[in-house]
C-alpha cells in the first residue's frame, strides 16, 4: 500500500468518528533499544494510549556509551552503564529480544531472525552505529581484539581498560580519530582526557598520542585549555595539518600509519569510521554515505515512506550524534508519528542538545544548542549554540561535572525507567 492510499484510509477514519474503537490501535514497531529506541517507545505510549507498540532489540541488557570513558579510566564500573527493559514492559510495550533481518516497506512488515513476520503501520529505526569495517585499511573485526575501538560500550570498553591496566609505566598509548561524521563528536577528546588523567595518576612516565583526521573538533578550546594545564607532558594531539590522519593500521604490531610516519603503540585505541546500524541498509533507508536522510519535522526517511530514523543513524544536519539528541529526536518523532496516524499534521519542532564532557574527574565542560528545521535539515537557532566559558573557575567546572552526573541519571531514567 502506498503512503498516499494510506493517508486516504486515515482520512476516511477521520471522517467516520462514530466507528467503534478498534480493539487494538495502530501498530508501531521500533527497532533498536538504545537511548533513541527506548525513549521513542515510551513517548509513543504517552502520546497514543491504545497504540500497539513493539520494541525489537536483540540484547536483553543495554550498555550505555555516555560515561563509558570513565570505565576506561577505571573510576566507574560497567555495571553502572547497564539498563534493562522491565519498565518498558510494565508500560505496556511489547519487547521482543530478536534481530530484525528484513523489512518489506510495501507490505509494511518486518521479518525477525526466527522467520516470524510482524506488521506495522509505522516503523521507527533507531539502530545506532555500526563500525565500517575495512574503511580504515587493516582495521577489521579481528583487528579490534588487539586494537579495541571501545566505541560500542561493553566487552570492547573492558578490553581497552584491561590493556591500559596491563601497560607498564613509560608506555605509549595511541588513539586515532576518524573524519566526521561519527558517534559523539567530543567523545574521542573526553576519552583522551580521561586516559591522560589515569596515566598521570597511575603511570606518569607514559604518553598518549592522539592522531586526528581533523584540524578542529567539538569544545576544542575548552579541552585544550584543560590539557595544557593538567596533562602537558602526557597528552599530545596531532592534527590533520600536522600529519595526524591515519591511513592504515597493523594489528600484529599495534602500529598506526600516516602519510609521514608510523606510530608503534603499547596500547592502541582505534576510533574507526562508522555508518548507520546494519538494519538501515537492509531497510533501504541509508544513502551512499552510509547514513539516513530524514525529514527534520517527522524524522521520516527521505528514501522510504512509513519508516522513520532517529538517533546516530539519521542525518540530522547540525544536530550531533549524541544520546541527548537521540532522546530529543525520539520525543519529537513519537509525537509526529502519533499525529500522522490520525491524519493530523505535525508541528515544526524545536529540539535541544546538551552534551557534557569530562576533562578530568570533577572537571566538566559542556556544549548546547537549540535546533529547528531550515531548508530540510536541522540547523542551530542563532545565538543558542555554544560551549561553557573558557575562563570559568574550578567551582564552575566542578558544577558542570555534577550536572553531567545528574544528566546521566535523568536521561537513563527517562529512557529505561
Partner 1 sequence: MIARLTLAAVLLCAAAPPPGASSCSGCHGPAAQLPVLAGRPVADTVAAMDAFRAGTRPATVMDRIAKGFTPAETQAIAAWWAEATP
The site for partner 1 (CB under 8 A) is made up of 1, 9-10, 13-14, 16-17, 19-22, 24-27, 43, 46-52, 108, 119-121, 324, 327-328, 331-332, 335, 338-339, 341-342, 344, 347-352, 354, 366, 368-370, 372, 380-381, 383-386, 388, 396, 399-400, 402-403, 406-407, 409-411, 413-414
254-276 core/surface letters (b: 16 or more CB in 10 A; e: else): bbbbbeeeebebbbbbbbbbbbb
**Cell 575562563 maps to which residue?**
391
User: Based on CB atoms, which residue is closest to partner 1, 4 or 16?
Assistant: 16
Rounded least distance, CB 177 to partner 1, Å: 25
Pick from 156, 137, 135: which is nearest to 147 by CA? 156
Q: Which is nearer to partner 1, 263 or 416 (CB)?
A: 416
Shorter beta-carbon distance to partner 1: residue 272 or 349:
349
Task: Provide the minimum distance between the beta carbon of 386 and partner 1 in the complex, in angstroms, as a whole number.
Answer: 5
Between 171 and 349, CB nearer to partner 1? 349
CB of 191 to partner 1, least distance (A): 22
**Do the Cβ atoms of 286 and 292 come closer than 8 Å?**
yes
Nearer to partner 1, 159 or 340 (CB): 340
Query: Shortest approach of partner 1 to residue 82 CB, angstroms?
Result: 17
Place of cell 569530562: 358
Select 77 or 402, whichever has its Cβ closest to partner 1: 402
CB burial of 14-44 (b: ≥16 within 10 Å; e: otherwise) equals: eeeeeeeeeeeebbbbbbbbbbbbbbbbbbb
Q: Supply the minimum distance, in Å, between the C-beta of residue 369 and partner 1.
A: 7
The three grid cell numbers given for residue 417, joined into one nine-digit string: 525507567
Q: Which of 328, 253, 322, 333 is nearest to 294 (CA)?
A: 333
Gap between the terminal Cα atoms of the chain? 36
297 Cβ neighbours under 8 A, 6+ residues apart: 336, 346, 347, 348, 349, 373
Q: Beta-strand (E) ranges in 345-387?
A: 351-360, 363-374, 377-380, 386-387
- The stretches of 94-237 forming alpha helices (DSSP H) are 155-166, 187-202, 220-230
| Cβ proximity to partner 1, 39 vs 269, nearer residue | 39
Of 237 and 407, the one with the shorter C-beta distance to partner 1 is: 407
Nearer to partner 1, 115 or 393 (CB): 393
**CA geometry: angle at 108 spanning 103 and 114, to 5°?**
45
**Is 239 or 399 the residue whose CB approaches partner 1 more closely?**
399
Peptide bond into 181 cis (omega under 30): yes
Min CB(241)–partner 1 separation in Å: 29
User: What does the DSSP assignment read for 243-274?
Assistant: T--EEEEEGGGTEEEESS-EEE-SEEEE---E
Max distance between CA atoms of the chain, in angstroms, equals 77
**Closest distance of CB 58 from partner 1, Å:** 23
Least distance in Å: CB of 70 to partner 1?
19
CB of 121 to partner 1, least distance (A): 7
Least Cβ distance, residue 317 to partner 1 (angstroms): 15
Cβ of residue 248: shortest distance to partner 1, in angstroms? Answer: 39
C-alpha cell at 344: 493530523
Radius of gyration of the chain (CA): 22
Task: Kindly tell me which of 300 and 400 has the beta carbon lying closer to partner 1.
Answer: 400
Q: Which three cell numbers stand for residue 170?
A: 613509560
Amino acid at each position: 500500500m502506498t503512503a498516499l492510499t494510506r493517508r486516504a484510509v486515515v482520512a476516511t477514519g477521520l471522517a467516520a468518528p462514530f466507528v467503534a474503537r478498534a480493539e487494538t490501535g495502530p501498530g508501531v514497531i521500533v527497532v533498536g533499544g538504545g537511548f533513541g529506541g527506548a525513549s521513542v517507545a515510551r513517548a509513543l505510549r504517552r502520546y497514543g494510549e491504545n497504540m500497539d507498540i513493539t520494541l525489537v532489540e536483540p540484547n536483553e541488557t543495554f550498555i550505555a556509551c555516555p560515561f563509558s570513558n570513565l570505565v576506561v579510566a577505571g573510576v566507574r564500573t560497567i555495571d553502572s552503564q547497564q539498563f534493562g527493559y522491565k519498565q518498558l514492559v510494565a508500560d505496556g510495550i511489547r519487547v521482543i529480544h530478536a534481530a530484525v533481518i528484513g523489512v518489506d516497506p510495501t507490505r509494511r512488515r518486518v521479518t525477525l531472525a526466527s522467520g516470524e513476520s510482524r506488521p506495522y503501520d509505522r516503523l521507527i529505526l533507531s539502530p545506532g552505529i555500526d563500525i565500517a569495517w575495512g574503511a580504515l585499511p587493516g582495521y577489521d573485526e579481528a583487528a579490534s581484539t588487539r586494537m579495541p575501538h571501545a566505541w560500542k560500550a561493553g566487552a570492547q570498553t573492558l578490553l581497552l581498560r584491561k590493556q591500559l591496566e596491563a601497560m607498564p609505566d613509560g608506555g605509549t598509548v595511541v588513539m586515532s580519530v576518524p573524519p566526521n561524521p561519527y558517534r559523539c563528536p567530543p567523545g574521542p577528546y573526553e576519552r583522551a582526557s580521561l586516559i591522560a588523567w589515569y596515566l598521570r595518576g597511575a603511570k606518569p612516565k607514559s604518553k598518549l598520542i592522539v592522531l586526528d583526521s581533523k584540524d578542529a573538533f567539538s569544545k576544542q578550546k575548552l579541552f585544550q585549555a584543560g590539557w595544557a594545564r593538567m596533562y602537558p607532558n602526557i597528552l599530545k594531539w596531532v592534527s590533520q595539518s600536522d600529519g595526524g590522519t591515519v591511513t592504515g593500521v597493523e594489528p600484529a604490531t599495534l602500529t598506526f600509519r600516516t602519510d609521514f610516519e608510523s606510530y608503534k603503540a603499547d596500547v592502541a585505541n582505534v576510533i574507526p569510521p562508522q555508518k548507520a546500524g546494519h538494519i538501515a541498509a537492509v531497510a533501504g533507508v541509508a544513502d551512499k554515505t552510509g547514513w539516513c536522510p530524514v525529514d527534520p519535522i517527522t524524522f521520516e526517511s527521505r528514501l522510504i515512506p512509513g519508516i522513520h530514523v532517529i538517533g546516530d543513524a539519521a542525518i540530522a544536519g547540525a544536530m550531533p550524534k549524541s544520546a541527548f539528541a537521540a532522546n530529543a529526536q525520539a520525543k519529537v518523532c513519537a509525537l509526529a508519528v502519533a499525529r500522522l496516524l490520525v491524519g493530523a499534521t505535525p508541528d515544526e519542532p524545536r529540539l535541544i542538545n546538551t552534551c557534557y564532557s569530562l576533562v578530568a574527574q570533577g572537571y566538566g565542560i559542556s556544549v548546547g544548542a537549540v535546533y529547528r528545521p531550515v531548508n530540510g535539515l536541522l540547523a542551530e537557532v542563532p545565538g543558542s549554540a555554544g560551549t561553557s566559558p573558557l575562563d570559568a573557575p574550578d567551582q564552575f567546572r566542578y558544577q558542570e561535572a555534577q550536572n553531567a552526573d545528574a544528566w546521566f541519571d535523568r536521561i537513563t531514567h527517562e529512557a529505561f525507567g
